[in-house]
A and B are shown apart, each in its own frame.
Chain A
Amino acid sequence: MLKHNLLFLYRSALKYKGTFAINLFGLSIGLASALLIFLWVNAELTMDHLHQSEDRMYQVMCNFNYSDNIKTGKGTPDLTARTLKAEMPEIEYAVETIPPDWFKKINISVADKNHKATIKFAEKDYFNVFSFDLIEGTPDQVLANPDGLVITESLAKRLFNTTENIIGTPVDFQIMEFQASQKITGIVRDLPDNTTEQFEMVAPFAQWLKLSEDLDRPVHWDNYGPEAVIIVKEGTNMEHLQKQVAGFLKSKSTAISSLWLQPYADQYLHGTYENGRSVGGRISYVWLFSLVALFLILMACINFINLSTAKATRKIKEIGIKKTIGANRKQLITQYLSESIIISTIAAILAVVIVQSILPYFSEITTKTLTLSFSPTFILVLVGTTLLTGFLAGIYPALYLSGFTPAIMFKGMLQRSGGEAQVRKGLVIFQFALSVSLIIGVIVMNQQIRFIQSQKMGYQEENIIYFNKEGKVATNPSVFLEELKKQKGVLSATMVNSNITSPSDNSTTSGVKWPGKDPNTRIEIANTSVNYDFLKTLEIPLVAGRGFSKEFGSENEKLLLNEEAVKVMGLTDPIGTMIDIWGDNYQVIGVTKDFHFDSFHKKISPTYMWIKPSHTQEVMVRISGDQQAATIAGLQKFYQSFTGQTLEFKYLDEQLAEAYQSEMQVATLSQYFAGLAVLIACLGLLGLAAFTAERRTKEIGIRKTLGATRSGIVFLLSKDFTKMVLLGIMIAIPLSYYAASTWLEGFAYHTKIDVPIFLSAGLIALIIAWSTIGFQAIRAASVNPIDSLKNS
């Protein structure tokens, strides 16, 4: 029987090529999209799920209770991990770490040759907590001594061309003005793709403490920053431990803060916090795209359902004959279901080919290394999705078609209940509701991204390059800056503690006091360390006072505030006000207009700026807009001669765009998937329009004979479809309005959802639908009426 069914499907496909192609193409696109989304979702869901003790592994999170909100972060006081372990016997391992993005790429030197690499500082049990594969060394020993250093396999190859016999080899590194000499104690296999941990070297935490001291950065219970990860012992009562952890800082820190433990692997997808607890994060995109995958498959299935039921008249004879000669309903259901499953299987094979060919581009968009490996999970998902798709597409037509009595063939007509036509209409409306929702989503996302890009940051981000302050630049910052400013095309230069676009780079503190401050108020103030010419280089305007200047002697005890800080502090005449920061007094000399440190996700924070040249990490240079190539070439030459190294720089405006990478990714992906959804919907519409034109051939012939014009016929044929698309649009509007508003709430500054968005999305859908139907309608309306009547 299977052979018969296969043969029958093959011959039907040859006979009705158009319908078959629409079904196959639609299902292939639907399945290919679903597979791509699965690969991405799977990569997201498996992120950080690779450590042996992951079920007992926790990130120590910290809630800061401010007057108006609770801020949650991973920053903890430096000694948190070791003290937690000492005080709580339930903890098996605890490590404090400094993530590599605190320092970008640092200078290292091996046998007098300079290189760059990323560094992480971690306490000795790091490799007991994170089960990365050590090629050389053991987890207990590699970070046990302060002069140890673990490097990755690829860094080893880069430095030594080998991973063998390099244990004990000295490696020197420099961070700002701090220099250290380490010896390689371990080599770790390159980190897999599914970890958020990223480093090329891990140095013992003791070196961080030295560096901290070198920077005059105090290590005490009110200074938060490093991150702590613990592994609890098996059988630990987590409720009890959470309570203990929550009270841990009470006796130690003056800040009203409390710790809590979040399962380590959960942070990646559940990294958004409100009121001191996780409220989601990237998981919402995982859900969103999983839904989109499901919708795309459903839309392709709908085409199959609609075309199968619409073209039932073609099947009447076959069904009648088969039933007459003995086929029962079950056998016909099996036949039609197996047909749809076979088509979805062929579509799945095509989908795999499509996925294989576009995966490199998709990987680029998602910035993930996605590969199509036929793992048991992938095969299970592929087979499962294929069978489910075949079943969803085939079950309704199978039930509908097999339900005809054999007598219909002899009566020569199909007694349509009208119910199936309503189902078809409903499904088309559903398809267009989804398509229009996606179009609206795409428009809103793009509008928001354009909105962000068009917003003034509060400084002039164009024509600014920045690079790390390292090597001889770090050891002779003043000389370097003076020489730099003399270069042709350089308008101004300064040093700051970050490139000012990265939120994690700006530290915050609540240890700030000012005249009139309510002692019970706890307000978080951001601070940034700068060098002279900061305002000039970034072109940040002042609203009062002045900026830092060498003309006024030492400025070490002076501060600049932004407008928001003045507002939050309630200062009416800020210039000259004395501010207490951790017991030291600083005088306010100027107030800047507000400018954005962070992306537009966050509101402008109250901020103070102070002169701390030794805390700065980045050199920022404003260059002339003219002849930039020559300026850059000149700067590279100058940098080479000053430092002996190659200048590696970035443009600030390009970096700003990266702050919205996640949104850009989602917007790009949504564009593609919305396009595919519209394509699938239109394929279905094309099939239905062809069917309608075919079914109404006789009517068209009669109408034309009676004097109907071609445009009148086109209108007649397009009317019903237009109604369906319009209904789809009406359903889509409230749904997409709700979804888009929720998404926009994630931005502190966002665009408005205006009527034109809905109008343009609706119009796009209508134009595409009309183009699809119009072709069929015009063709049908152009046939000579005699031919129409003869053929029918």
Chain B
Amino acid sequence: MIRTNKLKKVYRTEEIETTALNEVDLHIQSGEFVSIMGPSGCGKSTLLNILGLIDNPSSGEYYFLDEEVSKYSERQRSNLRKHNIGFIFQSFNLIDELSVYENVELPMLYTKVPAGERKKRTEELLEKMNMMHRKNHFPQQLSGGQQQRVAVARAIVNNPKIILADEPTGNLDSSNGDDVMKTLAQLNQEGTTIIMVTHSAYCSEFGNRVVRLLDGQIVSENTIAKYRI
């Protein structure tokens, strides 16, 4: 599903050049739940952004669904993204001006889902996430756990093939964090590929593989025999 070949990302300012990713080769099969771990600044989020097609690599190859996409234009990447990838962030990243319902509905506006279908899917997901009673609330009126449940609903509303989660439990207490992880594991069970950046060893155990990064390079890859659910 995902394959990178000597993927490199270099940030340049006028005086400093920082290599965030250094020749990363990664292969992820469909249906996997991969956790990316490593210390702060090791390039985890940069890798996730490139895999999620929201940033371009400086060099190397990136095959997404067997297509080489590293040179894709913004428009092409946007097109791939909206139909195939769902995002979950540590800081939830809900749009403050939109209600719970509208936040979940938003991705379907960009994929031109008809209004009736949008309503059905949004309500189904809000029910599933136990957020229906809060559908008219705004993000700032919700707890962190509730916000992340809305963000998960938004991430999966277009039935993406892959979910990218950047420290999804980072801002949550353990109970809410657990709920989110269980939801992700459930989605993975249902066939969605999941790539998650995390600091938490506990969370990584929900996946079936752990990729460790250090200074922009993959230093180890471990398969977890029996993962949590």
Contacts and interface: CB of A to CB of B under 8 A. Distances in A.
B97 A324 contact: no
Contacts of B74: 328-329, 405
Interface in B59-105: 74-75, 78-79, 81-83, 87, 93-98, 102
Interface in A370-418: 405-407, 409-410
Given A325-B154, A326-B81, A407 B54 contact: yes
A325 B110 CA distance: 8
B93 A326 contact: no
A325 B82 contact: yes
Contact of B78 (A15, A321, A327, A409): A327
B98 A8 contact: yes
Given A12-B97, A409-B93, A326 B102 contact: no
Nearest to B55: A407
Nearest to B110: A326
B54 A4 contact: no
A311 interface: no
A317 B81 contact: no
A341 B87 CA distance: 32
A320 B93 contact: yes
A358 B87 CA distance: 54
Could you say which of A4, A320, A326, A328 has the most chain B C-beta atoms within 10 Å of its C-beta? Answer: A326
A322 B52 CA distance: 14
A413 B55 CA distance: 15
A87 interface: no
Contacts of B83: 326
Interface of B: 45, 49, 52, 54-55, 74-75, 78-79, 81-83, 87, 93-98, 102, 106-107, 109-111, 154, 158, 166
5 contacts: A8-B97, A11-B98, A321-B93, A324-B52, A328-B110
A86 interface: no
B88 to A, nearest CB: 11
Contacts of B94: 321
A323 B107 CA distance: 10
A323 B102 CA distance: 16
Select the residue from A323, A324, A331, A405 with max chain B CB neighbours within 10 A: A324
A4 B108 CA distance: 12
Contacts of B95: 317-318, 321-322
Contacts of B87: 324-325
Given A325-B110, A325-B154, 20 more contacts: A4-B102, A4-B109, A11-B97, A317-B93, A317-B96, A321-B94, A322-B95, A325-B106, A325-B107, A326-B78, A326-B81, A326-B82, A326-B107, A326-B158, A327-B110, A328-B75, A328-B78, A328-B79, A410-B49, A410-B54
B85 to A, nearest CB: 9
A361 to B, nearest CB: 40
Nearest to A7: B102
Contacts of A325: 81-82, 87, 106-107, 110, 154
A251 B75 CA distance: 81
Contact of B55 (A318, A328, A405): A405
Interface residues of A, number: 25
Contacts of A331: 110
Contacts of B166: 410
Nearest to A14: B97
A327 B74 CA distance: 10
A190 B142 CA distance: 71
A8 B98 CA distance: 7
Nearest to A402: B74
A1 interface: yes
Contacts of B109: 1, 4
A326 B78 CA distance: 5
A410 B90 CA distance: 11
Interface in A302-339: 317-318, 320-329, 331
A329 B75 CA distance: 7
A323 B78 contact: yes
A1 B112 CA distance: 9
Nearest to A5: B109
A670 to B, nearest CB: 42
A595 to B, nearest CB: 73
Contacts of A326: 78, 81-83, 107, 110-111, 158
Nearest to B52: A324
Interface in A1-25: 1, 4, 7-8, 11-12, 15
